[in-house]
Amino acid sequence: MLGFLLAGGRAHRFGADKAMHLVDGVPMALRVYTSMREAGLEVVAVAKDRRLEELGIPCLVEPDKPRHPLVGVVLGLGEGGGVFAPCDVPWIPPQAFVQLAEAPGSIARDEGGLHPLLAHYPEDWLERAQELLSRRRPARALADGAQFLDLPAAWLRNVNRVEDLGPRQR
């Protein structure tokens, strides 16, 4: 099964390249990539350039326009769909990806809410994702009609700001 590591964001709130930021000495993107691979997924990053190839991660390059979180999802769906994950969930274990792989049409959820970029989107969701992207709808709009996969919040902890990391990793 395919896995898509979403690393195309501009990281304005973070202030630096999140994908390459070290967490426990390992770039965030590589941590998520490794977890996805350990779950048995064939993983490719969807990014704004090929910088992750320096880490040994194959890449699909997003177009410059439009800038939107669904661009990476649409590209992955065009490749056949599969399990999607943002690069900023560095503590997610392989077990989360195993569970997503077993649940097509599911979106991760914890007590804090939905994680629409952490999901298993099958190829037949492509037209829907394209339509939402064309209307500039938020990624969470894909959740309409989806199943939810409840996962522990600790697994889904994402890093939007440097402060979201512990003091050792800033």
Q: For each of the chain's 170 residues, which pLDDT tens digit applies?
A: 999 999 976 555 555 678 898 888 999 999 999 999 999 999 999 999 999 999 999 999 998 888 888 999 999 999 999 999 999 999 999 999 999 999 999 999 999 899 999 999 999 999 999 999 999 999 999 998 899 999 999 999 887 655 566 555 54
The answer to whether position 131 is within a domain reads yes
Residue 86 tokens, joined: 């943002």
Query: pLDDT per residue over 122-138, tens digit each?
Result: 999 999 999 999 999 99
Contact present, 46 and 4 (Cβ < 8 Å) = yes
The answer to whether position 109 is within a domain reads yes
The answer to whether position 170 is within a domain reads no
Count of domains for the chain: 1
CATH number at residue 64: 3.90.550.10
pTM, two decimals, is: 0.91
**CA dist., res. 167 & res. 116, Å (int):** 28
The answer to whether position 61 is within a domain reads yes
Pairing relationship of beta strands 59-61 and 42-47 according to DSSP bridges = parallel
The phi and psi torsions of 94 (rounded to 5 degrees) equal: -55, -35
Contact present, 94 and 39 (Cβ < 8 Å) = yes
The answer to whether position 107 is within a domain reads yes
